[in-house]
Amino acid sequence: MNFLLVPDKFKGSLSAKQVVAAISSAISDIYPRAHVYSVSASDGGDGFLDSVRSYVELETIKTATTDPLGRKISTEYLINPQTGEAYIELAKASGMELLSDEQRNPMLTSTTGTGIQIRDAILNGADKIYIGLGGSATNEAGLGIATACGFSFLDEYGNTLKPIGKNLSKISSIKPSKFLKEYKNLKIYAINDVDNPLFGPKGAAWVYAAQKGANKEEAEFLDNGLKHLHTIVKAEIEKDYADIPGSGAAGGTAYGLKTFLNADYISGTDFIFKLAGIDKLIETNSIDYIITGEGKIDEQTLRGKLIHGVCQLGTNYNIPVIVVCGVSEVNKKQLKVMGNVEVIEIRDTSKPLSYSIENASALIELGMAKFLKNRIKD
């Protein structure tokens, strides 16, 4: 029997590699003769660089930049000087994990730090830059990135605005970048797996701002700010990308990348699966089951993300998919949309959530072993 493991991390508990180890242990206990294959994958969010470096030989470039609140930090991106390709993970400089719960506030956070990395990559000779979106602490439509790359956003008095969420509604005009005009062959790719538009009920603010620290009033303010920005963009730059699926990714950063840096959108899972050669792996190894998972299955999972891509892969090859998670907030009818999928919830509901987080590896092993023993016949 052949298993392919393509899990995401269990945020705050286990890395994807640790999830693979736990599932592999359960399989070997029940089916000692089974063959287990694994793929280091990402939907463009946290772990994007780790996935890329698993399949491509690249140089690591350390950069002095800033975190979402403008504090100095040092982080990294990857580059191939021979091909001019660079890979940047938004979360490295603009991610929620860089902030404590108390510090998270999408009214005040910015993607400037990621913009500094993009500019550095350009100056280092990169002309094809792949940016993994996800895990952002921001909701400013990529204004920080645009600012770092030479754009200015002005209020009605001609004052330059700080590129943060609370200033979206103050923008009166946009001063174009002189820096980017020098790099006409530059190609940017925004990598993500969500289909949210920029604003509206399914947009960046209403869907994601709460988990970044916004209350309901702030989410409404940010949503209106994104609408206002788009109005200015249409009038001054004559671009209309707000309703394109995925424009709401990373607090609207995808929209900003497309509007100001002419980026193309790429599916994160498709991108990584191609690097990993996953189609060839499946076709040459007669995979019987694909196993994926993450900490929580919710409506966002259904709108994209890695698990959605893995389930689609199973559908394409008519291979059943097993999803292991801490908790699922979607019902069986919703899951049917994702194909031939079985879900294993590992949380021990008789104990506090903290117990399941701290013992996730053991619970995955236990849950997987029980499932495999009862549901799969060798």
The closest of 85, 103, 113 to 250, measured between CA atoms, is: 113
State percent of the chain over pLDDT 90.
80
Angle at which helix 278-285 crosses helix 305-317, to 10 degrees, equals 40
pLDDT bin (cut points 50, 70, 90) of residue 377 is low
Domain ranges (residues) in the chain: 2-41+277-375, 56-268
User: Rounded to whole angstroms, how far apart are CA atoms 148 and 140?
Assistant: 14
Q: Which CATH superfamily is domain 56-268 in?
A: Glycerate kinase, domain 2 (3.90.1510.10)
- Give, in order, the Cα–Cα distances in Å from 280 to each of 40, 57, 284: 15, 20, 6
pLDDT digits (tens, 9 = 90+) for 160-186: 999 999 999 999 999 999 999 999 999
The predicted model scores a pTM of: 0.90
pLDDT digits (tens, 9 = 90+) for 121-150: 999 999 999 999 989 999 999 999 999 999
Instruction: Tell me what pLDDT residue 373 has.
Output: 87
CB 298 within 8 Å of CB 325: no
Residue 105 has which token pair? 């506030």
pLDDT digits (tens, 9 = 90+) for 40-69: 887 777 789 998 998 999 999 999 999 999
pLDDT bin (cut points 50, 70, 90) of residue 304 is low
Q: Is the pLDDT of residue 20 over 90?
A: yes
From first CA to last CA, the distance across the chain in angstroms is 7
Specify the pairing of strand 128-132 against strand 85-89: parallel
Instruction: Please state which CATH number belongs to domain 2-41+277-375.
Output: 3.40.50.10350
